[in-house]
Structures are given as C-alpha cells and as structure tokens.
Structure 1
Amino acid sequence: MKRKSILAVAGLSAVLVLGGCARAGQDSPSSGGSSEITMWTHSAGNPGELAVYQRIISEFNASQTQYRIVQQNFPQGSYNDAVTAAATAHKLPCLLDMDGPVMPNWAWAGYLQPLGLPDSLLDSLLPTTVGRYKGTVYSAGYWDAALSIFARKSVLDRNNIRTPTVDKPWTLDEFDAAVTTLKANGYRTPLDLGAADKGEWWSYAYSPMLQSAGGDLINRDTMKTAAGTLNGPDAVRFFTWFQQAFKNGWADNTGPVGNQRFIDDKVALSYTGVWNAKDALASVGNDLLILPPVDLGKGPKIGGGSWQWGISAGCKNADGARAYLKFSFQDKYLTAFADSQVVIPSTTAAAAASKYFSDTGPLHQFVVLSRKFALARPATPGYPVISSTFEKAAKDIMSGADVQPTLDAAVRSIDTDIKSQNGYGF
C-alpha cells in the first residue's frame, strides 16, 4: 500500500471538477429539517478508510438531529485539483481533509478558517498531527506515519553489526561501515532508500536526513529564505554523502517502489515507513527489526505531519462542522482508523488500545520513533514550491550533478518564489 502521507497530485480536469463542486458545496437543510454539512475526502478507492469514516458519520448523525454529515469521496490523484477549483468557484464543502504540509498554503489562500477545537483535545494529539500556520491551528488529524530502517536481526548478527537503539542510534560512520560490510558479504545493493519513488516522498524522506545533518529546507526562524540552510556547509556535506551512497553502489533508484526488495532479501536495509510494516512482519516475523534513523550529526530525524481535517472559510455551518470533528476524535475511532490502515494513532489512549501500536503491539516502535524524532515540514505557504525544488535538486545530485551549484540554484528558485509572493505573509 502506498501510504497517503504523500502529497496528492493534480489530475482531474477543471471542467469536470467544477460541475461536481457546485452541487457538493451547497450545505442546506435536509428533508428531515437538520442542516446538511458536506464533507470531502481524498479516500475514494480505499475501502478500509471509507468504512471508518462511514461508521463515524453514521454514529454522529444518529447522536443528534441538528446536523447531518454527507460524505463525498475523490481519488487522491485528483483531490487537490478539486479543492482548488471549488475554492475558485466559492463552492468548497464545509469539511475537507488535506495533506499536512499543504495546509499553510490553503490557509494563506483563504480556503480555511481557524479550526476552533478545544485546547484540551488538541493538546492530547501528537504534535505532528496538529496543523499550525503562524501560530493558529487550522487542521488536525487522526494519525501520523513514521519512517524507520527495516533490517533482519539475523543479518546484522551474522555480519557483527551493532543493532542501534533509539538511545544509541547508528552514527554516520557506523552506518557507512555497516553498508560497506553488507555489500562485501553478499548484498549487491545493501540499502533501499526508496529513490525510485517521486513527488512528496523526496521531501518527506530525505529532508529529515538533511535536518539531522544540520541543514534544512528553509530558515524556519524567518520563513523568508533558504539561503544558508539548504546550501550551507551542513547541507553540502549531507548531499555529498547522499551522492556517494549511489556512486558506491550502496543504494540505487531502480525500484520497485515499496519494500519488496527487503521482503525478498535482495537488500539488507530498507528506509521505509509504517505503511509497509504489516507485510514485512508477515514475511520476516520475529527476525524483523524496526530501527531508528541514522544520526547524521545533529540527532536523528524523521518526517511527520500527514492527512488532517479542516473547515472551509465560507462554511455556513461551522458550529456543526466543529461538533462533528470533536465527535470524530474519540479514541475508539482513532484506534479503528489506525488498525484498519496501519498508521500511528494521534492519541496515547488510542495507541494503547491498538492491536499494532500498544505497548505490547508488534509495531509499537513506530510510536516511539514518531514521538521522539518526528519533525513536521516547514509551515509556510511556499512549501509546495520548496518541495518540488528540493526533489529536483536531490535527484540531480543523485545522478551526479555538482553539489554546491545545484543547491545554490535551488535556493535561488525558492527565494525568488518567496519574494514574488511578498514573503507569504511572514
């Protein structure tokens, strides 16, 4: 399963979208007298996800008579286009989900209003599941994803490689030594970094490595420039290592996308996410290790911030939308969502009740990694440009481009976009 922490890609024609939006965006009294509130999701084609939503909606609608939630589902690939077209036509639904890193762009563009949920609820959620832009909460989510390095204990033991822990992760020198040893002892390509993937995966997966090395996508103190963070000495050192990993044959970008090469024991180490853990467990069993990320100098980091819920700026029934969202964040629903989709519940209580993520669950390590190492992507409206620019630069470097000039060009592109938008309000 390709987890939906990855940013949706445009795909549906504006003409078709607008036709649907004009109808879906009208919240009005239903035949029973209750106010109808439309809710959009990106979940078409995901029956497990839809089943949990249908349960929540059914139980909310049955719990009161003032509001009635009506769900409409879009394929993930066309979802962002649908939202953009509906916003242009002033036909957004009241409730809509969104990938966490795109939320600041939608808030800045005027699509969203402050979420307005109780602080007690928001404080109970994992920090990376609460979306803030300029100090205001605009979104919140039921779950998060997390990255890890999958390994087989038997393979590490056979090669006399230390098993890292969250308190003592691999250093970069240890990691380099490990993949060198594995390559010399039977693995033609010992490491799967997921480099055959595309789109938001590149920022989600590799910018935490950059941050662990001391760089970043942008200066988060000001949100006005990438200079010095994306092209400074720490970033150059990281990308020099990144390029060398491919030159040395430790990793490649031949694919397939996913975790199949690890399951088939064609690679010894797989940098992948919680969405691949269930299949890995089924294939590898008790030999599976869910390892922390490598400490590249400034502490381990992994990506955080996935799909979340918000309320549109023009919602006529914002009180009802908030009532539904508050209802939907019950722990029993978060647990059901987590166990259906194999994602990390956003509350401690929901994780404790999960068959996968409880303290004794086989995937509890992902909860530990998320709480200890997760870092959200920069909360700026400029993020979509930052992400696509980062992907191009990283792919060019992987393919052999000179590191410093490539990063300098990326910084110029990002800073030019920020200046063209008057700093995006910062």
Structure 2
Amino acid sequence: MNGVSVTRAWVAGRRVRRLRRTLVPWTLCAALLLAACDSSGGGDAKGAGASPKDTTCDGKIHGIAHITVWYHAGPSGEFTTLQKQVKEFNGQQKQVRVELVTLPEDRAYTALVLSAAASGDLPDLLDFDGPNLYSYAWSGKLRPIDSCVPASVRADLLPTIRQQGTYAGRLWGVGTFDSGMGLYVRKSVLRKAGIRIPAGPKDAWTATELTGILRKLRKQGYKAPLDLRLVYSQPGQEWNTYGFAPAVWSAGGDLIEPGDHRTADGYVNGPGAVKALTDMQNWAKDGLIDMVKDDKAFVSGRSAISWCGHWTYPEFNKAFPGDVAIVPLPDFGRGTATGMGSFQWGVPAGDADGDAVWRFLSFLLQPAQVHRMSVANGAIPATESAVKLSPQYAPGGPEHLFIEQLRDGVARPRPQTPAYPAISDAFSRAFAKIIFDRAPVQATLDEAAKKIDKDLAAHDGYPANTS
C-alpha cells in the first residue's frame, strides 16, 4: 500500500478530533523531499543546532492524555505485535490513550517525517531508524528524554542501545531491539572441506584467510560461494552502509573523521577504506561473490557463506536445521567489527505530555514486551532482562555471537553526526559502483569524500548548539 492510500485510509477511519492536521499534503511533496535527502544531511540550516524544549517528566498525568504514535510498516510480525501491544496497553489503564498510525517503510517514511517536521505536524511519539537520530536532534526535530528514563531502565538497556540513543551528551531515543550481523555458514560444508569454524570475535577469519576459503569452496562445487545479500543494494537503501562499513572499520578506516566529524577526506577514501573495498572488489572480480540479485543464494545452496544480519537466522535454520553457524565478519587487519543499531523511539519537538509518552514507552520496555517483539521480528532484545528470556542468545546458543558483539564493543555505531544521511548516501553509492561496476576504488571513494564534505560545508560543519 503506498503512502497516499495509507494516509487516506487513516483519515477515513479515525475520529477527526484526534487529528490535528491531515497527512495528505505530506505525500504530495515526498518526491521532492527524497531528492533533497539525496544531497543533504537532512538538517535545516535555519534553527540548526537548536536547543528544543526538553521532554519533561514529573510523574504526573493530568486527566486523560491522548498520544499519537507513528510507526514504520516493517515486517508483518513486528507490525502486528505492536498493534496488539497498543491494544493491550489501552485496555489495561485509562489515563493514556494511544493512537497508532502506520506509514510506508524506507525512504517514503523518512520523507513523510521531514515534511511533517517542516509543517509542525509530527506526532507525540515517533519511530525512526536509529542513525537518523543525530540529524533529527541537531535540527530540532526531537526533544531530549533524559528526565523521563529512570536510571534503572538505562542500566538495563544494552550499551549499544544507550550509545545509539545519545547525541551531544543527551539521551534522545530508546529502542526495544537491536541488530546483529555476521557470516552464516554451513557447518557440514566447512567440515567436509577441512575449513575451521571460528569460535568467536577473537578467532575471526582474516580477509586473506576468507579469500582462500572461498576459493576452496569453489573447488567443492560452489560457483559463487559468498552471498552479500546484494538484493538489498538498491540506491538509497541502508544495507550497503550498515553491511559493509564494518569492513572499513576492520581495516582501520572510517567513513568520516571520528570524534569531531569535520571531514571525510582521508577517512572514507583513506588507506583502510581503500584496502577493505579493494579486497571485496577482488572477490567480485574473481567470481567469488554471488551477483544474482535475489535472496536465495544461501537457502538454495548456491552459496555456502552469507554475509547478513539477524533477520535471516530463522529462514536459514529452517532450510538447514542444526547445520547453520554464525561466525564473525572477517578481520581486514585491525580485528573484526560489526554493525549495530535499529529503529528507536523518540519524542518530536512539540507539546507532547512527556509522562504520557513515557507511560507507553515504559510498557514497551517491560521484559516480557521486549521479548515478545524480538520473537516477532527476530531482532536482539534491547534489555539485559529480556535477553535472559531468550535462550538462543545464552552462551552456547545459536545466536550468542550477536549479543556478545553488542556487549563487548565489537559492534560499532554508524557515524553519530547530523551529516549521517549524506555520509550513508555517498558511501552506499560508492560501494555499489565498486562492486557492481568494478569502478576504481580510490577514485570512487575520493568522489564520496567530496560529496560528504560538500554537505558538511553547506551546513557549516553542523555546529552544536552553544546557547
């Protein structure tokens, strides 16, 4: 269902008194916003670095509070679970009434958020992809939620959830699940070929070792033994950055200057990035990567190794029961690295009742509710208390690597800067050119650095608020 039809259905089916403004105009300018997002970090130079009013929680809710919640139309299990959670929350208490609005996923959702922010029509509680938090916070689209989240809840969150939700020393978002990534392998295939199976992050294959493994597997009959899930590598999609920035980090590179984020030159096009993507391009040139753009390389048996995320484990394990292991991404020289982060909840700038919003968020963060959502979408529970309810993440469990990486610092956040949308777009397009078109690695990354630095210059380096 497209954005217009979703919007019309919502408008037709909800009471007018709960609608402050209509959603229809947002969809009319979505295409323009998408084009704008391709070339900018998403921040508005006017009011840049603004300090929005905090989301204040004093423990009091006066009368009956109505809050509107926006949610991306993610996997069906995820969506239906949230619907049930909203229904149960509304049914078990009478002070806070939650109105759930689901909108199109991916870039259309981001376009709607940006349009709504420009016209002052954001909801009381917003669901968004985690790396967008920094742009939203910097440009004044979100309000800090420090006073709403108790210390006990913060302590229970995985360190990566706290890290992703923090910008400029403030907490702006929390999530109910995190992500994990690794190499999925067929244990029986590797054992037959005499290939060792890494036991954990400290035991990861080196990139050179993986090259030899792929060549050995090709001799075993796997024409293109490595699946990179290139079906996700569409223009503007996040997979190229989420999936393959870890190779750059592992080689000692970065997408932008760490710390101050003042320039991408010398980082996204630096020696580490060039080394990692040259290695990967060589795999493509040697025919070691499955270039078929579907999601069946691993389950169909075309590839024996799949570079992918947590969401594929149920499918892979169903295809090969008991024969799937998850091992770390390869070490390109400085140790294995992996991605982290997923959708988070934040409070948009406006007049939302912080206590009412937190009442609902605290319900979603209850151990049973976090566990319930992670079962539905296959993601990693965001809290330690919920992880304890999930035996697959316990030591010896099939997905223990994911939680180990999130706890022990192997997982890294994508650059925590308002420039992230521009960084991701430039790197994603560069990666696609390098892998699909066999474009010169150094020159392609040089162009990506120029694009990112152009965005930084257009926003004066995204200065922090000094008021």
TM-score by length of 1: 0.89
Match of 1:97 in 2: 127
Alpha-carbon spacing, 1:15–1:175, altered in 2? closer, same or farther (3 Å): closer
Match of 2:175 in 1: 141
Question: Which stretch has the larger CA shift, 407-416 or 77-86?
Answer: 77-86
Match of 2:89 in 1: 60
Contact between 2:290 and 2:297, CA under 8 Å: does it hold in 1? no
Match of 1:347 in 2: 383
Contact between 1:141 and 1:346, CA under 8 Å: does it hold in 2? yes
CA distance in 2, matches of 1:119, 1:14: 42
Alpha-carbon spacing, 1:216–1:25, altered in 2? closer, same or farther (3 Å): farther
SS for the counterpart of 1:40 is strand
Please point out which of 141, 156, 161 is paired with 1:124: 156
CA distance in 1, matches of 2:85, 2:367: 12
Please point out which of 443, 447, 451 is paired with 1:405: 443
1:192-245 deviation digits (Å, cap 9, x = unpaired): 112332210000000011100111111121111112211111222112112111
CA distance in 2, matches of 1:414, 1:360: 42
% identity of equivalent residues? 35
Amino acid at match of 1:189: A
Alpha-carbon spacing, 1:156–1:418, altered in 2? closer, same or farther (3 Å): same
CA distance in 1, matches of 2:401, 2:275: 30
Match of 2:362 in 1: 326
CA distance in 2, matches of 1:212, 1:393: 18
Amino acid at match of 2:225: P
**Structure 1: runs of 5 or more not aligned:** 1-10
Give the superposition deviation at 1:303.
0.9
- Alignment coverage as a number of residue pairs: 408
- Map 1:170-319 to 2 at 5 A: 170-198=205-233, 199-256=237-294, 258=295, 260-319=296-355
SS for the counterpart of 2:172 is strand
Alpha-carbon spacing, 1:421–1:321, altered in 2? closer, same or farther (3 Å): same
1:298-327 deviation digits (Å, cap 9, x = unpaired): 111111110000011103312211222123
CA distance in 2, matches of 1:339, 1:144: 13
Please point out which of 9, 26, 36 is paired with 2:20: 26
- Map 1:366-381 to 2 at 5 A: 366-372=402-408, 373-381=410-418
Alpha-carbon spacing, 1:220–1:337, altered in 2? closer, same or farther (3 Å): same
Match of 2:69 in 1: 39
Contact between 1:339 and 1:355, CA under 8 Å: does it hold in 2? no
Give the superposition deviation at 1:332.
0.5
Contact between 1:14 and 1:85, CA under 8 Å: does it hold in 2? no
Give the superposition deviation at 1:358.
4.3
Amino acid at match of 1:123: A
Contact between 2:225 and 2:290, CA under 8 Å: does it hold in 1? no
CA distance in 1, matches of 2:6, 2:312: 36
Match of 2:46 in 1: none
Give the superposition deviation at 1:164.
1.1
Contact between 2:6 and 2:103, CA under 8 Å: does it hold in 1? no
CA distance in 2, matches of 1:238, 1:24: 51
Contact between 2:325 and 2:398, CA under 8 Å: does it hold in 1? no
Match of 2:25 in 1: none
Question: Which stretch has the larger CA shift, 315-324 or 238-247?
Answer: 315-324
Match of 1:3 in 2: none
TM-score by length of 2: 0.82
Give the superposition deviation at 1:13.
6.3
Amino acid at match of 1:61: N
**Structure 2: runs of 5 or more not aligned:** 22-61
CA distance in 2, matches of 1:120, 1:361: 27
Amino acid at match of 1:101: P
Alpha-carbon spacing, 1:300–1:23, altered in 2? closer, same or farther (3 Å): farther
Match of 1:5 in 2: none
Contact between 1:24 and 1:93, CA under 8 Å: does it hold in 2? no
SS for the counterpart of 1:276 is helix
Amino acid at match of 1:70: E
SS for the counterpart of 1:336 is helix
CA distance in 2, matches of 1:14, 1:278: 32
SS for the counterpart of 1:221 is coil
Question: Which stretch has the larger CA shift, 306-315 or 191-200?
Answer: 191-200
Match of 1:114 in 2: 144
Match of 2:103 in 1: 74
CA distance in 1, matches of 2:3, 2:69: 19
Question: Which stretch has the larger CA shift, 73-82 or 223-232?
Answer: 73-82
SS for the counterpart of 1:60 is helix
Give the superposition deviation at 1:279.
1.1
CA distance in 2, matches of 1:120, 1:219: 34
